[in-house]
Structure 1
Amino acid sequence: MEMVSKMVAEKPVVVFSKSSCCISHTIRSLLSDFGVNPTVYELDEMARGREVEQALMRIGCNPSVPAVFIGGKFVGGATEVMSLHLRRSLKPMLKTAGALWV
């Protein structure tokens, strides 16, 4: 978990993904449509990606990707992010984290 904490520290938005995951792509596209440029870690392209994936599963991300962190806090996967978006809570959260300025 310490590895994941270091990876998300001081970055407004972090998405853990896999290059072949279409749901991860959708979440990245949603964030990009808001004008957010998230830090994306492709677990299947990382040397220690399997370790990171196991840490994500330990904190409750199942399936392991996408795993979204906003303002250093674990938000959840695609379902949680889409729920925030539909409730109009995602954009204010992104602003608070410093990922969005308008």
Structure 2
Amino acid sequence: MTTRSAAFILVLLVLTVFISITEASSSVDFVKKTVSSHSIVIFSKSYCPYCKRAKAVFKELNKKPYVIELDEREDGWKIQEALGEIVGRRTVPQVFINGKHLGGSDDTVEAYESGELAKLLGITSSHKTDL
């Protein structure tokens, strides 16, 4: 291998690392901006039964969450990795209320059933059904 070839390979490696860091950073920025721009955000996958359960809670409360369906986006896996960095979990759903991380499906249902979710949303709720 020539010195020129080695230098070229080194440049490619540096560029690859830089691009990976930049993409990860932009995905983290996307999550943070999305969460701060909407009162209710759910990072979801359209086919996931746990995601459907979390979304049903907000339907029961007549609240429309901003939903990001990760399986319907080319960058969905990058966003899922960013969620892992931000909240320590890569699983879906991940629910945010007023910029704060609520948790996943079980956390959302538990907050709903205890009345804590209604408080977080600033609404009164007559809990109707178990989800």
TM-score range relative to shorter protein? 0.7 to 0.9
For these two proteins, the number of residue pairs brought into alignment is 97
Matched, 1:47 2:74: yes
Structure 1 residue ranges without an equivalent (≥5): none
The correspondence for 1:77, drawn from 104, 114, 120, is: 104
Report SS of the residue matched to 1:9.
helix
Opposite residue 15 of structure 1, the aligned amino acid is I
The correspondence for 1:86, drawn from 113, 116, 126, is: 113
- TM-score when normalising by structure 1: 0.86
Opposite residue 84 of structure 1, the aligned amino acid is A
Tell me if structure 1 keeps the 8 A contact 2:44–2:69.
Answer: yes
Structure 1 residue 86: Cα displacement: 2.3
With over 3 angstroms needed to count, the CA separation of the structure-2 counterparts of 1:39 and 1:101, relative to structure 1, is farther
| Deviation by residue 1:24-80 (Cα, 9 ceiling, x = unmatched) | 011101111101000000000012111100111222224x20000000111111121
- TM-score when normalising by structure 2: 0.68
RMSD: 1.7
Of all paired residues, the percent bearing the same amino acid is 31
Structure 2 residue ranges without an equivalent (≥5): 1-27, 126-131
Provide the residue aligned with 1:3 in structure 2. Answer: 30
Opposite residue 60 of structure 1, the aligned amino acid is G
Q: Which runs of 4+ in 1 moved over 4 A?
A: none
